[in-house]
Chains A and B, each alone.
Chain A
Amino acid sequence: MATANKNLDIKVEYLTRVEGHGNIVVNVKNGKVEKCEFHVVETPRLFEGMLRGRSIFEAQHITSRICGICSCGHSLASIQAAEDALGVVPTEQTIKLRKLLLDYEFLDSHILHVYLLAAPDVLGVPSFIPLIKTHNAVVRRALRMKKAVNDVCDILVGRHIHPITAVVGGWTKLPSKKDLDTQIKILEEMAGDMGETLKLAKVLKFPDFHRETEYVALVSDDGEYPLLMGDIGSTDGKRVSKKDYRKSTNEFIDPRSSAKFTKWSRDSLFVGALARFNLNADKLHPKAKAVAKELGLKPVCHNPFMNTVAQVIEIVHCYYHALEILKDLKKNGLDYSQQVTVGANEKGAVPVRAGNGVGSVEVPRGILHHNYETDRAGMIKVANCIIPTNQNVNNIEHDFAKFLPEIITLPKETITLRLEMLVRAYDPCISCSAHYLDVKFVD
């Protein structure tokens, strides 16, 4: 067999087009895979350590800085955990606006990933920069859509990267009637580009690779596609409340790499758009369901490359969901007396008590958990954040183990690219997952 004595030594350092820093290390001797690993290498930023001794009212501001692209998601998980610890119950209006913010976060992140980070792979170019020449209209559309989402975010939270107005206790600034109209207008003007995005999605081709795994995402009993609130569920039939999030992650040390991995019912688990789709496809917006049908994605799908397609479906879902919230707010009006001035809570706007709270929120890359324990003065004693990419690293390695033998006859460059594509399909956000990292290298 041609592969019997194949030797391969691949080391992709600082995997490009992925948030954060990741390395792929592959070692094949005489056709046998000796090593096939995905490493996360980044300076530990030690957020959980730094949070100790800071006020619970600063947690949103600080943890937002774990990741620029998921800053709204981190903010929402942080606020949820803090309010849980303090015993604050947000109003219906506050929740509605938070859901809107989460829709924007998904739109922004998924558009970035589908267009700028994943499309170059599928179109066979090293980056979006050559696409400026060859696919100028596509690049312009991507940037235009990103700008539009950025603009609606600016209106809602002051700025998309590190939101300002979403805090513990509610909103420091509520959108005016005009603000609602502007957001609706910007989104409606995006409709044409949305249509074009679907056309693009239809031509994207992905490797045919399947591996069964456990898909984990928020689940709920109501009819809404759960992103902000719910229990933690899996395609293996598990379900726990967010208080028991640790049961769904079971962080463990892998003796081979010393990185911390997660698992639930089997060797590894998958979080992200495909997991949400696999668990909750029946709750998608009808327009998104129609798109799923058009794109041929059905639950349960075991091809990790299809995560990008699930993201396209979620783009459609979040787009229409956001418009529905905006129109509802416009119709029923906002209660501006709910606007809060919190700061460091000097005025005691939010009652403080000692507590332990969990926030579990779906962010673009999967389920995110924040957990804080506070003292009577609202100072953080212990903090724990479990980030989606961290939960996926183990699954990526298990995919590698099955995928590599399937493609081993291909030239080294193609193998490298395929493995990079596989990692990128997960849309990993490594700046966050630097919670744990692996420092072993193959020479």
Chain B
Amino acid sequence: MKTEKKSVQIAAKPKVAFFDFASCEGCQLQITNLGEGLLDILGAIDVVEFREAISEKWDKDYDVVLIEGSIGDHHAEERLKKIRARAKVLIAYGACACTGGVNGMKNSFELDEIRASVYGKDYKLFDSTATKAVHQVVKVDYSINGCPIYAPELVEVLKCALRGLPYTVPDNPVCSECKLNENVCMYERGVSCLGPWTKAGCNSWCVNNGNICYGCRGEVKNPAKNANDVISKYNLKPELIKAKFDMYNKCKEADNNGNRK
């Protein structure tokens, strides 16, 4: 990655920080899984906070921050706002951060009820609020959808962010990639799949491996042309599809990158 190309805001060796909130930390692990390729990225940036991997702390401003995880308590909300105030560019990465991800399923329950179901009568000791995606709390400049993120997309977005270029999450359905990969459609194999309603960009990762799409990359604005056909052709109950979609998409996704809704 080259950074000499001048961008308006970002310093030659940008100060980059990674923070995590309610998440499984799988998205930051996707970064360490880049292997030696990680060193190329590290050569171009100056990592100032990465709690999982380092013990150094930084108390000045950040050129770029990457936020993993969703927001689910008061302390987290305050911490996120403080980080935003010190960050020139904020990237939300992973479904948890971009759409609430699996944490959003919490919002399908009455809050006190689900808290008590896990912690018993002392549940009030553990602060917990309805799950919010990052953009529901602060302005987000770039989003990298997916659970986990797809590493090539991360590299792409980082390049854009470091150069001040825009990046838009693809808004075509997973089916478009799935067809190119010549998979036999899951509907033909007798099971339902959320591909027609889900944003592409993962190269139909799950279907290539014999599983169904679970909707982790968020909802497309315009579902596949055949989405309604799929519903009628296979005699699906729309509630079933919605219940499945809730696994990742209980919190609303940002309308567009950077547009807080």
Query: Which residue from chain A places its CB closest to the CB of B244 in the assembled complex?
Result: A344
Decide if B212 touches A132 in the complex (CB within 8 Å): no
Decide if B24 touches A49 in the complex (CB within 8 Å): no
Q: Which residues on B sit within 8 Å (CB–CB) of A52? A: 109, 117
The 6 closest A-B pairs by CB, nearest first: A68-B26, A147-B35, A343-B191, A127-B54, A172-B210, A158-B209
Decide if B119 touches A17 in the complex (CB within 8 Å): no
B237 to chain A, nearest CB (A): 11
Contact of A106 with B by CB under 8 A:
no
Contact of B193 with A by CB under 8 A:
yes
The stretch from A25-33, A58-66, A323-331, A361-369 touching chain B is A58-66
B240 to chain A, nearest CB (A): 8
A62 to B101, CA, bound (A): 10
Q: Which residues on B sit within 8 Å (CB–CB) of A17? A: 51-55
Decide if A49 touches B23 in the complex (CB within 8 Å): no
Query: Which residue from chain A places its CB closest to the CB of B21 in the assembled complex?
Result: A43
B40 to chain A, nearest CB (A): 11
Chain A positions 336 through 355: 1 when the CB is less than 8 Å from some CB of chain B, otherwise 0? 00010111111100000000
A92 to chain B, nearest CB (A): 20
A28 to chain B, nearest CB (A): 23
Query: Which residue from chain B places its CB closest to the CB of A58 in the assembled complex?
Result: B247
A403 to B140, CA, bound (A): 45
- By size class, the interface of chain B is 35 or more
- By size class, the interface of chain A is 35 or more
In chain B, positions 37-53 with a C-beta closer than 8 Å to chain A are 38-39, 42, 47, 50-53
Q: Which residues on A sit within 8 Å (CB–CB) of B108? A: 50, 53
Q: Which residues on B sit within 8 Å (CB–CB) of A69? A: 25-26, 29
Query: Which residue from chain B places its CB closest to the CB of A382 in the assembled complex?
Result: B117
Q: Which residues on B sit within 8 Å (CB–CB) of A14? A: 51
Chain B positions 149 through 176: 1 when the CB is less than 8 Å from some CB of chain A, otherwise 0? 0000000000000000000000000000
A20 to B128, CA, bound (A): 17
A14 to B57, CA, bound (A): 11
* Residue from B119, B128, B186, B212 within 8 A of A436 (CB atoms): B119
Decide if B114 touches A129 in the complex (CB within 8 Å): no
* Residue from B39, B72, B103, B190 within 8 A of A143 (CB atoms): B39
A17 to B54, CA, bound (A): 6
Q: Which residues on A sit within 8 Å (CB–CB) of B209? A: 157-158, 164-165, 172-173
With A140-B36, A344-B192 as contacts: A339 and B210 at CB distance below 8 Å: yes
Q: Which residues on B sit within 8 Å (CB–CB) of A157? A: 209
With A127-B54, A132-B42, A147-B36 as contacts: A161 and B26 at CB distance below 8 Å: yes
9 additional contacts (CB under 8 A) given A69-B26, A158-B209:
A50-B108, A52-B117, A54-B247, A62-B247, A68-B23, A68-B28, A146-B32, A161-B30, A165-B210
